[in-house]
Amino acid sequence: MVQQPGSEKIIVGSRALANVMTLAKRVAPTDCTILITGESGTGKELVARTVHESSAHANGVFAPLNVAAIPENLLESYLFGHERGAFTGAEKSRDGVFRSAEGGTLFLDEIGELPLTVQPKLLRVLELKEILPVGSDTPLRVDTRLVVATDRDLKQMVADSSFREDLFYRMNVINIHIPPLRERTEEIPALIDYYIERWSKEFSRPRMSLHSDTRQYLLNHEWLGNVRELAHVMERAVLLSEGDTLMPSDLPDDLVDSTPSPTEDLGNAVDAFKRRHIVNVLDSVEYHRETAAKVLGISAATLYRYIDSYDLQGYGHQPDVT
């Protein structure tokens, strides 16, 4: 099923995502703050748009803002506005995004990047429905729905004292968690077809077909970058394909190299996975083989046998230090 909030489309092809969309629409008519969590590329902004489109603020603007994209010294002014002369260069008063989105929805992505100095000011908005522009002593009432999102573990940030506990609980009235694409793989075929059609139209190409091996590579890939990665892979394939059928050669080399071949037997596929996993662990421990063996849960002797078997003797650049 394709749902279309605004100009974007959400492909609802799994029970998990259907549950996400049901919850989003159920809580949208309320005024409670919504925290959307999930890995990068899972579609948090699309879910936030769905909340907006299903709410009493639907006739207002939907204003997305990536908190991490705004320099820390400008963020407070960007959010809450400032008065003329509030700081060097402030030649005139200016509304912040809370005022600009009045009557609509403000979506703050990467909320985990919000500096500690700004967090109490956001808490004030949530508790009192008012903002205090930089350089002003007069608070201003705002009617702006707030939806926030993060791919970070805010509970751990609270434990580490890098995020305010009171702000976390004030934001986390409703938590909508979007599972990664690898946990809802039944959506992948519909996503593939959607992006083939979308990019074919955008690049004025005939509707491309998909070679069976190409489809298997796409179905077998881990998609650690989630839907965003899949969209970019399909965009590249449609753009670069020289024929009307997308072949494995149209896929990025790193995707093909890291994904079991659709014609590969089980034993070879398992070996390829083991080799790749060992390489990843060696990378993560800076090539210290004794440490890698502990992480892998095997003896050092077993790891050395794998290294010989998978021709990894020269892999890495740091010798073991004992």
CA distance 61 to 78: 17
182-258 under CATH 1.10.8.60, yes or no: yes
Closest CA to 289 of 270, 269, 308: 308
Q: Where are the domains of the chain?
A: 2-179, 182-258, 266-309
Query: What is the length of the chain?
Result: 322
Partners of 107 in beta bridges: 64, 147
**Overall fold of domain 2-179:** Rossmann fold (3.40.50)
**What SS3 state is found at 94?**
strand
The answer to whether 54 and 28 have CB atoms below 8 angstroms apart is yes
What is the C-alpha R_g of the chain?
Answer: 24
CA distance 13 to 44: 16
Identity of the residue numbered 58: A
Shared fold status for 182-258 and 266-309 = no
pLDDT of residue 261: 61
pLDDT of residue 303: 87
pLDDT by residue (tens digit) across 50-91? 999 999 999 999 999 999 999 998 898 889 987 765 566 666
Query: Beta strand pairing status for 10-11 and 2-3?
Result: antiparallel
pLDDT of residue 86: 59
Query: Beta strand pairing status for 140-141 and 130-131?
Result: antiparallel
pLDDT of residue 217: 92
pLDDT of residue 258: 77
Burial 135-173 (b: 16+ CB within 10 A, else e): eeeeebebebbbbbbbbeebeebbeeeebbeebbebbee
CA distance 259 to 238: 20
Tokens of 50: 């769905």
Segments in the chain below pLDDT 50: 1-7, 317-322
pLDDT of residue 3: 45
pLDDT of residue 1: 39
Closest CA to 218 of 268, 178, 262: 262
Give the pTM: 0.76
pLDDT of residue 164: 97
pLDDT of residue 90: 62
Tokens of 146: 């707030």
pLDDT of residue 61: 96
Match 């573990």 to its residue by tokens. 153
Query: What share of the chain in percent tops pLDDT 90?
Result: 60
CA distance 221 to 301: 31
pLDDT of residue 318: 45
The answer to whether 195 and 189 have CB atoms below 8 angstroms apart is no
**Overall fold of domain 266-309:** Arc Repressor Mutant, subunit A (1.10.10)
pLDDT of residue 106: 96
